[in-house]
Amino acid sequence: MQSWEELEQSCRGCTNCGLCQGRNNVVFGVGNRNADILFVGEGPGEQEDLQGEPFVGPAGKLLDDMLSIIDLDRTVCYIGNIVKCRPPRNRDPQDAEQEACIGYLRKQIELIQPKIIVCLGRIAATRLIRPDYRITREHGQWVEKDGIWMTATYHPSALLRDVTKRPDAFKDLLSIRQMMRKLNMNR
Ligand code: URA
């Protein structure tokens, strides 16, 4: 298996898709590499591209608040994205771009070996749980895949745009905390 260092180095030099042309930084991922819980977003926005870290813009502030609701912070979980380079004007990453990049996330998952993966929004859920995943209908439900418990909730950007989704996201967070307890995760 590739080491973290090898993986990070190859990802930082990646030219697998056109997104590499517009990037300031590859946004590899942050957090605890031994985490029991992994959160996966869609792709870097403007601030993430400038700073090289996931979820540091307005959506990131909300993600931090969401983590604190379930007694987590960035030091105990790992946070990554489906694509590591910013799509222009924050458009959805295209299928070909996701295909070109997903291998990095899959290797991150192999190295971390999380017990839980939380997909943040539709793009992560359709890529990691099921291609026809419907976030509005299925958020908060759990599936076990390859020994990892997986769920999805609304993307923090969606919760910034539409506050009426927040009570549902809150329930999803409580369900994540319940699953963490069930799996004997202390945090
Ligand atoms: N939105 C995402 O999906 N990921 C980030 O890293 C930032 C915003």
| C-alpha distances in Å from residue 166, one per residue of 8, 60, 172 | 34, 15, 10
Atom from ligand 1 closest to the CA of residue 53:
6
175 burial type by CB count under 10 A (0-12 exposed, 13-18 middle, 19+ buried): middle
CA of 45 to the centre of ligand 1 (A): 6
117 neighbors 128 (Cβ within 8 angstroms): yes
CA of 86 to the centre of ligand 1 (A): 9
pLDDT reported for residue 186 = 65
Structural domains in the chain plus CATH codes: 4-180 (3.40.470.10)
pLDDT reported for residue 187 = 58
Q: How far apart are CA 7 and CA 158, in angstroms?
A: 31
| Ligand 1 lining (C-beta closer than 6 Å) | 27, 41-45, 48, 54-55, 59, 81, 157
Q: What angle, 0 to 180 degrees and rounded to 10, lies between the N-to-C axes of helices 166-182 and 58-69?
A: 50
Probe target for ligand 1 pocket from 30, 38, 48, 153, with the most ligand atoms within 8 Å of CB: 48
The identity of residue 170, as a single letter, is F
pLDDT reported for residue 1 = 82
SS3 of 39, please? strand
Question: For ligand 1, atom 6, which residue shows the shortest CA distance?
Answer: 54
SS3 of 80, please? strand
Cβ neighbors of 143 (< 8 A, separation 6 or more) are: 129, 130, 149, 150, 151
Cβ neighbors of 118 (< 8 A, separation 6 or more) are: 37, 38, 39, 40, 150, 151, 152, 153, 176
Per-residue pLDDT of the chain (187 residues; tens, 9 = 90+): 899 999 999 999 999 999 999 999 999 999 999 999 999 999 999 999 999 999 999 999 999 999 999 999 999 999 999 999 999 999 999 999 999 999 999 999 999 999 999 999 999 999 999 999 999 999 999 999 999 999 999 999 999 999 999 999 999 999 999 999 999 996 5
SS3 of 38, please? strand
CA of 179 to the centre of ligand 1 (A): 24
Mind giving me the DSSP string for 113-158? --SEEEEESHHHHHHHT-TT--HHHHTT--EEETTEEEEEE--HHH
For residue 149, report the phi and psi dihedrals to the nearest 5 degrees.
-80, 125
Residue 17 CB coordination number (10 Å)? 17
